Amino acid sequence: MITNELKHRNEKYRKQILNHLNGYPTGEKFLIAFLISRLEDFSPFNKYPYIFDFEYLPFPPYDNLGRGDLILTSGRKYYLVVEAKYLSDESGRTARKSRNSDRQLVEFQAVKYGVIFLRQNPNFVVNYTTLTNDRSWRNEHPNFCREFLKFQNKKKKEYDSKNNSI
């Protein structure tokens, strides 16, 4: 049953997240904002149309134990824990090593936060997934990645032309 509390949370987080589409088009928040703007277009996300939580603490109030990115819900007992990672080649390490390390970290976090959320809510059906801008064969959501990169390039051009005209 979709409660008023869930509707309120969904509206609040949706506004907060979509606001990130107006900034420079990189980073985890931009990645999540693109997902939320087109949630119904990508599987399995389209099965979870409501935002249950965003940038949450798995063990409140202990923020030193990590911060989760996003939890989506079907509005019933089905939940999807989403861990996002915007992968860039800007570190001092080689690109491949950096991306593999970052990919492993986000996969570990998705499992970790999914298990924690399930332990805290044993009556829920909890799934988890990762969300990256990585085009490799390991990406769980290649269709999302293709569409994201097209959108990101368009937004970069818009952002650059807007800022160069000032």
30, part of any domain: yes
Give the domain range for residue 104. Answer: 4-160
Give the gyration radius of the chain's Cα atoms. 16
Q: Dump pLDDT digits (tens) for 108-161.
A: 999 999 999 999 999 999 999 999 998 877 778 989 999 999 999 999 999 888
pLDDT of residue 135: 81
Q: Tell me if 100 is assigned to some domain.
A: yes
**pLDDT at residue 60 in the model:** 80
Query: Can you tell me the mean pLDDT for 20-33?
Result: 93
166 lies in some domain: no
Residues forming beta bridges with residue 72, ordered by sequence position = 51, 80
Is residue 109 situated within a structural domain? yes
Q: Check residue 134 and give its pLDDT.
A: 86
Q: How many domains does the chain have?
A: 1
The string of pLDDT tens digits covering residues 53-98 is 999 998 887 777 789 999 999 998 999 999 999 987 554 455 667 7
The mean pLDDT value of the chain amounts to 89
Tokens of 6: 């869930």
Q: Is residue 165, in this structure, part of any structural domain at all?
A: no
Angle between helices 28-37 and 142-164 (to 10 degrees): 110
Report d(CA 146, CA 63) in Å as an integer: 33
Distance, in Å, from the CA atom of 50 to the CA atom of 10, rounded to the nearest integer, reads 6
Is there a domain that residue 70 lies in?
yes
According to the model, what pLDDT value does residue 96 have? 67
Q: Is residue 104 part of a domain?
A: yes
Question: First CA to last CA across the chain, in angstroms?
Answer: 50
The residue among 1 and 68 whose pLDDT is bigger is 68
Q: How do residues 146-156 score in pLDDT, each as one tens digit?
A: 999 999 999 99
Residue 25 lies in a domain: yes
